[in-house]
Chain A
Amino acid sequence: MSAAAWTRLLERVGSQGEGFLAYMGGLGYLGWDALKFTVLGLVVRPRIKADETFFQMVRLGVRAIPIIVLVQTFVGMILAFQLAPVLADYGQLDKVATVVAIAMFRELGPLISAIVLTGFAGAAIAAELGTMVVGEEIAALRTSGIHPVRFLVVPRVIAAVLMTVALTVVADIVGTAGGGIVDRFILLRDSWEYYHTVVQSLLVKDVLTGLIKSGVFGFLLVLISCYEGLGVAGGAGGVGRATTRSVVLSIFLIIAADCAFTAAFYFLW
């Protein structure tokens, strides 16, 4: 490669890297504003909009329960199907319960709930806020002295974080039960024994690390969706691009954060 080609390559990498850093910086600012207004809203006026937050919790979280239940049941079943032959080779078929429970509570519950919510809630938030930008609604809010972060982002952040954690609890239990279905009806084992093995093998740590992670995932996905939505430029096409980008980036950052957290928990706890 010639010197000029190297220079071009470096320039490309540099400008991409700069763009990424700028993006993370913008996300950081939004996150800081959201936290600031949340804390302020808890202690002084203007208060957090409780009815709006509740509305968002129903819209983003409660309505996602059926899809989460379906997906997690299947994931639990898949896991049991995949593990059974391997464990049977070692004569450890009774360990299906242990492996399914730990995988569910530590990893798959939080991760898959967050990914389903990214598609379910994240895309909706990005499209909604983006449409508000196009319709000058955000400009109208700002110029009437109502901070869009306090008014729109804070209720969504609170709702998304709480509901991701709550849905993860549902996902953990349903996913483990999904493994139990295969254990009972395909492997023809006793359900009580499955239940007792699950309860015995799970540690408080397994449940807690999963829930901490899911809170972080929820925060990431809602922050990215709000950031993309509020940053829309260029009409309907811009709304579409923002929606796509928010889903893709959320999934990427959630998995990256998952890797970082799991590594940290591995070494520290």
Chain B
Amino acid sequence: MTADVDPILELRGIEKFFEGRQVLRNINLRVPRGETLVIIGGSGCGKSTLLRTIIGEYAPDAGHVYIGGEDACCASPERLDRIRRRFGILFQSGALYSSMTVGENVALPLREHTDLDEKIVRMIVKMKLELVGLRDFEDLMPAQISGGMRKRVGLARAIALDPEIVFYDEPSAGLDPIATSVIDQLIIDLRGKLGATSLVVTHDMQSALRIADRIAMLYGGEFIAVGPPAEFSSPTDPRVRQFVEGLADGPIPLRVSKTDYVTDLLGEEPV
């Protein structure tokens, strides 16, 4: 897939600092329409920060996020709201509104952002829930269904307005392998059925290889490898290989402490 035609999402020179610590460095990315891009990386590599910057939860300290050609970073709140209607987000926990039923959760974006007749809203809700296989659960409360189901409802809600781009934050976190496959299959199906662009943030290598058109690996706040899944099955970069093969030993350290272990245990002066 070529990255030069009409990108639905484009990141240019994104930098982000938290309390003086640089979390994202010079992130550049173009995602063409219809592509499924998976961002992988270990814990604390900046994946979530990057996703939250793209969806406008955090403002980048430098750089721009273009969604469908519109600069989301410098947009007024009203304009940002309009841009946000073009995308859907599946949060890690599903983030269902706990005071509303499953059906009301899916219906909310339709009721808030469209003038559709109530009958049509109900119909769309049933269609979206059928897509995720949960049509019979419309009247249950989020607390009454399992974590995996909540995620699927979250997905139905994310696609309620037929978004041009869907963001997934760790879609397989906390799910068993079967539920993970179900979500993966949904992501693949959505691309086929809706032609939606997907951006998936995950640390699950298996699911990344299953769904991705392109994979980008984030390490230390920057992309160290971007390419089709084939490139990730036999990586040359030792850091990528360590992550893909899940090895304990390698250039990516498990420990993130900055102080010396012995000094930390025994105090300032080692005995």
Contact = CB atoms under 8 A, between A and B. Distances in A.
Contacts of B96: 137
Interface in B63-84: 77, 80-82, 84
B101 to A, nearest CB: 14
Nearest to B56: A143
A65 interface: no
Nearest to A55: B99
Given A132-B98, A137-B98, A145 B89 contact: no
Contacts, number: 49
Interface stretch (B105-113, B121-129, B174-182, B189-197): B105-113
Contacts of A146: 108-109, 112
Most buried by A among B55, B91, B92, B95: B95
B77 to A, nearest CB: 8
Given A144-B109, A146-B108, A146-B112, A139 B84 contact: no
A131 B84 CA distance: 24
Given A145-B113, A146-B112, A137 B85 contact: no
Contact of B57 (A131, A137, A139, A151): A139
Given A46-B112, A140-B89, A145 B95 contact: no
Chain B interface extent, by class: 20 to 34
Nearest to B161: A144
Interface in A151-165: 151
B154 to A, nearest CB: 8
B17 interface: no
B85 A139 contact: no
A143 B57 contact: yes
Interface size class of A (residues with CB under 8 A): 10 to 19
Nearest to A150: B112
Contacts of B56: 143
B57 A135 contact: no
Contact of A140 (B77, B80, B95, B112): B95
A145 B84 contact: yes
A63 interface: no
Contact of B91 (A46, A131, A139, A147): A139
A140 B81 contact: no
Contact of B95 (A46, A131, A135): A135
Interface of A: 46, 131-132, 135-137, 139-147, 151
Given A135-B98, A144-B108, 18 more contacts: A136-B91, A136-B92, A136-B93, A137-B98, A139-B57, A139-B95, A141-B97, A143-B84, A144-B85, A144-B89, A144-B109, A145-B80, A145-B84, A145-B113, A146-B108, A146-B109, A147-B77, A147-B81
Interface of B: 55-57, 77, 80-82, 84-85, 88-89, 91-93, 95-98, 108-109, 112-113
21 contacts: A46-B112, A135-B93, A135-B95, A136-B95, A137-B95, A137-B96, A139-B95, A140-B95, A141-B97, A142-B57, A143-B56, A144-B84, A144-B89, A144-B108, A144-B109, A145-B85, A145-B112, A145-B113, A146-B108, A146-B112, A151-B112
